[in-house]
Amino acid sequence: MREASLHRVTGETDIRVELRLDGRGEGRIETGLPFLDHMLAQLVRHGRLDLTLTCRGDLAVDDHHTVEDCALALGAALDRALGERRGIARFGTAYAPLDEALARVVVDLSGRPWAEVTLGLARESLGGVAAENFAHFFHSLATAARMALHVDVLRGRNDHHRIEAAFKALALALREAVRATGEETVPSTKGVL
């Protein structure tokens, strides 16, 4: 089974994650930040993942630790669910529009973490989440999942649309990259990822 569960506790957050890669796009997400819940719901639905993610964070301080730690926990669960990464497609590329906004995401489940993120947001916050923390989410996710991740919002006037298009494109790219190919080999000339 390509799934993983974890419990991550720090002095700032308490997070439980259950992830199934071969899901039906169903999720129960409670981060304390409804806008982040909405974005993670896009990832789940369009990535056809099953995800339960609950977080109790220090939101009285601000949203940073909750956003960062949810990304780290989700990335760690993704890494565990992939195991040795045998028999996966490895690469995924997707474009997703949302009205006037258009996002492109490219994923390589290479085992080497890297993120390049260009969101072009104009507002300082969206739904109680600091705009800068969305880029930080993608960086943290890439680090914990051990993947190369390129997120580029190519156009859009509405910041909500820009972020949502980015999460939808990530969902589609991940869905493609985690796809089981039926092969038993690791998709690398090195033999390991």
Check pLDDT > 90 for residue 31. yes
- In angstroms, the CA 87 to CA 95 distance is 24
- At 60, which CATH number? 3.30.230.40
What is the token pair recorded at 49?
């993942």
pLDDT greater than 90 at residue 190: no
Is the pLDDT at 189 greater than 90? The verdict is no
Residue 161 domain boundaries: 3-177
Exposure of 127 in the CB half-sphere (CA atoms within 13 A): 17
pLDDT interval class at 98 (50, 70, 90): very high
Output 119-124 pairs: Cβ under 8 A, ≥24 positions apart.
119/151, 119/153, 119/162, 119/163, 119/166, 120/153, 120/156, 120/162, 121/159, 121/162, 121/163, 122/159, 123/159
Q: How confident is the model at residue 80 (pLDDT cuts 50, 70, 90)?
A: very high
Helix pair 64-82, 132-145: axis angle to 10 deg:
30
Q: Which residues pair with 54 in a beta bridge?
A: 16, 30
Q: What is the pLDDT of residues 133-146, one digit of tens each?
A: 999 999 999 999 99
State the pLDDT at residue 165.
98
| Residues 74, 5: Cα–Cα separation, whole Å | 10
Q: Give yes or no for a contact between 83 and 21, defined as CB atoms under 8 angstroms apart.
A: no
Looking at the domain assignment, is residue 141 inside a domain?
A: yes
Tell how strand 114-118 and strand 148-155 pair up: parallel
Asked if residue 186 is part of any domain, the answer here is no
Q: Is residue 65 part of a domain?
A: yes
**pTM, 2 dp:** 0.97
Asked whether residue 117 is assigned to any structural domain, the reply reads yes
The percent of residues above 70 in pLDDT, for the chain, comes to: 100
- What is the total count of domains within the chain? 1
Residue 191 lies in a domain: no
Rounded distance between C-alpha atoms, residue 150 and residue 40, angstroms:
18
**In this structure, is residue 52 part of a structural domain?**
yes
Whether residue 127 lies inside any domain: the answer is yes
Q: Is 189 helix (H, G, I), strand (E, B) or coil?
A: coil
Residue 32 CA to residue 36 CA, distance in Å, equals 8
Is residue 132 one of the residues assigned to a domain? yes
35-67 pLDDT, tens digit per residue, is 999 999 999 999 999 999 999 999 999 999 999
